[in-house]
A = this chain, B = another copy of it.
Amino acid sequence: MNSKSILYIIKIGGNVIDSPDALNLFLKDFSSLKCDKTLIHGGGKIASQIGEKIGLKAQYNNGRRITDAPTLDLVTMVYGGLINRQITSKLQSLGCNSIGLTGADGNLLCAKKRPIVGDLDFGWVGDVRPEQVNGLFLNQLLNAGLTPIIAPLTHDGFGNLLNTNADTMAAMLSIKMQEWYEVRLIYCFEKKGILKDVSLGNEVITTLNATEYQKMKDNGTANSGILPKLDNAFAVASSGVNWVVVGHADDLLVNAVGENVVGTLIKSS
């Protein structure tokens, strides 16, 4: 019998953030979750829109987008400022005592700047591992009745912020926080769940295990855009978290507390 209390780790992506109505609806549902919870948010289109306005051109190296210094400032403003602070103030109005964080706050996530390989330099990007998560600090905040709202930024310990993938942050937090909690990780995105065959229709896979996932990758039925998220989801499931769900933001409550998950439940085996 597991005597640990439940911690929801919820990730929302840009599609929710880009729509004020969808975001308000989601935050209302999120705030109604009675257990300890934390939210990791992505970016959304607004960073690109503001980037265009200030004349910032997306930089690429060998076809892959890089975070140069002006782009880091942009995402620090938009992810760590505008989006994070707006979510926090909205949640306060919903009675959810939230606190907006990056990985620098309380040294929550001190990451490693992605190394340059050959002439491929991603710039100010951080890669994270579970052991870099300051779980004790997160635990302290949760014990104080706070709901951490985490922007996809970490720091390098040398005074620099780092642009960090929000799906990966959610995964690393989930793996680490099992020390204190029974973790439930829910990735909210724009579809109902993982589709059986994205080219054929909308039928959602109810449960997906590692073997089935490997088959999907092999036969090409998995949407390539979802692979990094699923890789993260399976890393968490295989670490011992048995409630990893990929589903629609509108289905948060049923996926979090329902008897039957509407999205896709990720199983390690």
Contact = CB atoms under 8 A, between A and B. Distances in A.
Interface of A: 50, 53-55, 73, 76-82, 84-86, 88-90, 92-94, 97-102, 104-107, 110, 140, 144, 146, 153, 155, 157-161
Contacts of A53: 53-55
Contact of A105 (B73, B90, B100, B153): B100
19 contacts: A50-B54, A53-B53, A53-B54, A80-B81, A80-B84, A81-B82, A81-B84, A85-B104, A88-B104, A88-B105, A89-B155, A90-B159, A92-B107, A93-B155, A93-B158, A93-B159, A97-B106, A99-B101, A100-B101
Nearest to A27: B159
Contacts of A89: 102, 104, 155, 159-161
Given A82-B73, A85-B161, A97 B107 contact: yes
Given A76-B82, A77-B78, A81-B84, 11 more contacts: A53-B54, A76-B86, A77-B77, A77-B81, A77-B82, A85-B102, A88-B105, A90-B159, A92-B157, A93-B157, A100-B102
A162 to B, nearest CB: 9
A87 to B, nearest CB: 9
A141 B160 CA distance: 23
B140 A144 contact: yes
Residue among A86, A97, A104, A161 with the most chain B CB within 10 A?
Answer: A104
Contacts of A50: 54, 77
A149 B93 CA distance: 23
Nearest to A93: B159
A55 B54 CA distance: 9
Contacts of A73: 82
Contacts of A159: 89-90, 92-94
